Chain A
């Protein structure tokens, strides 16, 4: 069963986006779990078109209400296992987090649970960013930045309500904060093309929040060569995450091993169990590499170190 984590700052348009996507049938057979930090749930009243929703109110699942989330997801797994016909089974769970949630601890929480880790594959982390207020939030809130950094997909919402110049600046700022994520736009939840930023637009300079300014994230692509050595990759990456887990925000890649094509994904120090992907010959040139996104290191050092451990020359 796949899990999509939908995050974004308070009022960034998560529910609106999700409501439209559900209405358009984008996710197939899906169950929605909504988390609200407040005691009185509102969002569930807005969400139709999906099974559920399960509402977890009165606490944020990334910290105080973690146990509730685990319980709710275990129930879903249990119910799913009792359905014999695969075509009737639940395909996906969407977890709409509260605006105060950091996606990374949620991933860690699900992995630490012995039942959920066997049933649930976290397929993507989608984060909504308000086109009009995004820049202000990113400038002031460490949480807003952590959410953006953890995302696979960033959706700039409420495009119709924002100044195009601001949107262009926001777009570039998001790309700089998280170069690994795709950025798309939406109006009332339906996908809208983002305007191409005019030449000369500069990303906003985000002020330091505590102490010195965090360096921007850098993506580094590392190649494993035609005959990848998973053992060497494992030794290197596990040591790197142990020593510098807070600086390596994300690592992602597809590696062909004797056990199949493995999808490797990490969120900070947490590595998800590698998922075996179907064989796809069209991706010949793209497999057998990993992208490491982080800060606080020289990309060239990373390449040299990787070469030292795996013996594969990096260009």
Chain B
């Protein structure tokens, strides 16, 4: 941790712990973007992670964009933008996904 600015304040987010090497990390980020597309379908939000800059870009249909550092922040932001949390137990997610 940097003693003057405190960065990074916490070790990597738990959802990113599954990859240790750079290629694995990139693969995991692309996979995460893929699964996020499933999760955000129908919500009017889109997530983009090109693997170049840290974080995930979240955009709305009207073009508003924001960058969130991790998934935890993403769900908070998604709830703010859509007015309700995205619940994995809502009926649209209880059918097989092809």
Contacts and interface: CB of A to CB of B under 8 A. Distances in A.
Interface of A: 111, 114-115, 117-118, 229-240, 242-244, 255, 257-260, 262, 264, 271-274, 297, 301-302, 304-305, 307-309, 311
Nearest to B85: A243
B18 A234 contact: yes
B35 to A, nearest CB: 4
Contacts of A302: 89
Given A304-B94, A308-B96, A259 B17 contact: yes
B20 to A, nearest CB: 4
B27 to A, nearest CB: 9
Nearest to B94: A304
B96 A264 contact: no
A301 B28 contact: no
Contacts of B16: 234
A254 to B, nearest CB: 13
Contact of B14 (A234, A239, A258): A234
Q: Most B CB atoms within 10 A — which of A229, A242, A301?
A: A242
A234 B56 CA distance: 14
Interface string B54-92: 000000000000000001101110010000011111000
Contact of B9 (A114, A235, A262): A114
A260 B75 contact: no
A114 B9 CA distance: 6
Interface string B26-42: 00110110011011000
Contacts, number: 124
Given A301-B94, A308-B94, A259 B18 contact: yes
A236 B93 CA distance: 11
Interface of B: 1, 6, 9-11, 14-21, 24, 28-29, 31-32, 35-36, 38-39, 71-72, 74-76, 79, 85-89, 93-97
B39 A239 contact: yes
A255 B28 CA distance: 15
25 contacts: A231-B29, A231-B31, A231-B32, A233-B18, A235-B32, A235-B39, A235-B71, A240-B87, A240-B89, A242-B86, A243-B89, A255-B18, A257-B19, A258-B19, A258-B24, A262-B17, A264-B14, A274-B17, A297-B89, A301-B94, A305-B88, A305-B89, A305-B93, A307-B96, A311-B97
A232 B18 CA distance: 11
A232 B35 contact: yes
A231 B13 CA distance: 12
Given A117-B10, A309-B38, A230 B17 contact: yes
B14 to A, nearest CB: 5
Given A244-B87, A258-B20, A307-B96, A238 B15 contact: yes
B83 to A, nearest CB: 13
A257 B18 contact: yes
A272 B17 CA distance: 11
